[in-house]
Amino acid sequence: MSDDKLFEDGVIERIAGELRDAERPSAGFDARVMASVRGIARARQREHRERRRLWNRVSQPRTITVRPWSVGLAAAALLLCASLAGWGAHAFARMESAAPAAASGGSQRVQFVLVAPNAKKVAVAGDFNGWDAQHPAYQAVHRGGGVWSVTARVPVGHHRYSFVVDDSLWVADPTAPRVVDDDFGTTNSAIVVEPEIR
Amino acid sequence: MRGPRALAGALALALPLALSLALPVAAHAQATANTLSSRLDPTTRVAVQAIVDSARRAKLPTAPLIDKALEGAAKHSDGPNIVSAVRQLSVELGQSKRVLGGGASTAELQASATAMHAGVSSRDIALLRSAAGPHRRVTLPLAVMTDLIGRNVPVATASQVVVGLARAGAHDSDLSMFERNVRLDIERGADPSAAAQTRARGVMLRTAPRAGTRPPGNQ
């Protein structure tokens, strides 16, 4: 069919006319929309009123009667909690000092090596483990050929230490700086552990 | 009526405050006592505890004192010897704090006390502090100084060499290498004093351009 024929028959005019007609809403459509809008407005008003009531409750001046002993009791409870927290933190810090492997930020992994071909047991004792030669984290392992070594965490700082051979012989680390403190008859070694650079 | 009520209120507030201040101290003291009582006999423990408490009041680090006592116990030293060593360390820590100032770390105080124990004077430690500059820790230089003395380098030479290295801007890594080289030289039979002085000159040759100072002459 040509374009001229379409115009002559008025087909296009009819289609355009139907398209121009506004859609007729169903009965009660306006009422439903208005009811919904009013509902939203009411909910917002309710919310606003609640907020205002809460604010008034908080902001309005009022007289509070407090007995001194109750304030004292509350303060005591608060401070007791703070003290216990401080105590706990301190106890933890001390434990950390005795068992440095627990923390990685304030400690570094250090390898201790001693050549002791005739030894049956080698351990490291020092400031960092309470001078406990039985501390499990500081027991050296025989690597063969008389070489004993252990890698353990040592807290940041200056420490004195010594090897303990066969639970009885105290031996300074031959590869570390010496400490001249013969208070207890043996020479110790020194180690300075620096904080980790991240 | 207002007077007694106000007094009661003040007491009610002050009492828990005092309690809260006393509790951590008491808890700390208890923890220390527990650590010491497991390793020391009662008489030694009481004497050591008194020194530790005194150090705490003087705001000195107490962990080195406890460690010293534990070291004595581990090495089966007798009680009076342990108490004497702990007391001596407490004195040296106090002197170190006076020399290095309140900003010194526990590690610095400990290293300084150890150096003093080896014979380094307060004056030389102050010189080192000054030579190193305000922002540098002197823990390692002090440890190297003590090590040299332990390897029979005379105290005056050890102090002079390390202060010189610090003044020349030697880093901790330079000092560690210096200490290792001197140790090896001595183990090979070198005279300790000569080894320390010669190796120090070598370090200064490397660090002088870094510090902007003139390197020493060819000796």
Cβ distance B27 to A87 less than 8 Å, yes or no, reads: yes
Q: Which residues contact B219 (CB under 8 A, 6 or more apart)?
A: B201
Q: Contacts of residue B111 in chain A, CB cutoff 8 Å?
A: 158, 190, 192
Most confident of A36-45, A85-94, A95-104, B185-194: B185-194
- Chain A positions touching B13 (Cβ under 8 A) are 68, 71-72, 75
Tell me whether B7 touches chain A (CB under 8 Å). no
What pLDDT shows up at residue B218?
43
A92 touches chain B (CB under 8 A): no
Tens digits of per-residue pLDDT, A168-188?
A: 999 999 999 988 877 998 899
- Helix B139-150 and helix B155-167: axis angle, to 10°? 150
What is the predicted pLDDT for the residue at A47? 85
CB A76 within 8 A of CB B16: yes
pLDDT given at position A50: 85
| Nearest beta carbon to residue B75 from set A76, A177, A186 | A186
Minimal C-alpha gap between A55 and chain B (Å): 31
In 3D, which of A98, A152, A88 has the Cα closest to residue A123?
Answer: A152
* A30–B contact, CB cutoff 8 A: no
Residues of B in contact with A73 (CB under 8 A): 12
Put simply, whether B196 touches A (Cβ < 8 Å) is no
Find the closest chain A residue to B176 by CA distance.
Answer: A177
Per-residue confidence band for A97, with pLDDT thresholds at 50, 70 and 90: very low
Q: According to the model, what pLDDT value does residue A2 have?
A: 56
At B104-152, the pLDDT tens digits run 999 999 999 999 999 999 999 999 999 998 889 999 999 999 999 999 9
pLDDT score at B217: 45
* pLDDT score for A104: 43
CB contact under 8 A, A157 and B144: no
Is the pLDDT at B213 greater than 90? The verdict is: no
Name the average pLDDT for chain A. Answer: 78
**Residue of chain A nearest B155, judged by CA positions:** A180
What average pLDDT does chain B have? 88
CB contact under 8 Å between A183 and B81, yes or no, is yes
Domains in chain A, CATH or no CATH each: 1-62 (no CATH), 68-193 (2.60.40.10)
**Amino acid A100: pLDDT:** 37
What is the three-state SS of chain A? Answer: CCHHHHHHHCHHHHHHHHHHCCCCCCCCHHHHHHHHHHHHHHHHHHHHHHHHHHHHHHHCCCCCCCCHHHHHHHHHHHHHHHHHHHHHHHHHHHHHHHCHHHCCCCEEEEEEEEECCCCCCEEEEEHHHCCCCCCHHHECEECCCCEEEEEEEEECEEEEEEEEECCCEEECCCCCCEECCCCCCCCEEEEEECCCCC
Q: Which of residues 145-174 of B touch A (CB under 8 A)?
A: 146-147, 149-151, 172
Q: Is the pLDDT of residue B29 over 90?
A: no
Which is more confidently placed, A58 or A85? A58
- Among B13, B67, B84, B144, the strongest candidate for a mutation testing the A interface, having the largest count of A CBs within 10 A, is B67
| B20/A83 touch (CB, cutoff 8 Å), yes or no | yes
Taking 70 as the threshold, does the pLDDT of residue A98 lie above it?
no
User: Among B24, B88, B110, whose Cβ lies nearest the Cβ of A83?
Assistant: B24
* Residue B110 touches chain A, beta carbons under 8 Å: yes
Binary contact (A192, B140; C-beta < 8 A): yes
**From A69, A80, A125, residue closest to B20, measured CB to CB:** A80
> CB–CB of B107 and A157 under 8 A?
yes
Q: A121 CB contacts (<8 Å, ≥6 apart)?
A: A139, A165, A166, A167
The two tokens of residue B147 are 């090590």
Task: State the best of B37, B75, B125, B177 to mutate against chain A, taking most chain A CBs within 10 Å.
Answer: B75
Q: Which one of B84, B146, B172 has the shortest CB-CB distance to A180?
A: B146
At A62-91, the pLDDT tens digits run: 776 767 777 677 666 666 655 554 444 443
State CA B66 to chain mean position distance. 14
Q: Which long-range contacts (CB under 8 A, 24 or more apart) does B122-129 make?
A: B122/B95, B122/B98, B124/B159, B124/B163, B125/B96, B125/B99, B125/B100, B126/B99, B127/B159, B127/B163, B128/B159, B128/B162, B128/B163, B128/B166, B129/B99, B129/B100, B129/B101
Predicted confidence (pLDDT) per residue in A9-24, tens digit: 677 777 666 666 655 6
Q: What's the pLDDT score for residue A24? A: 60
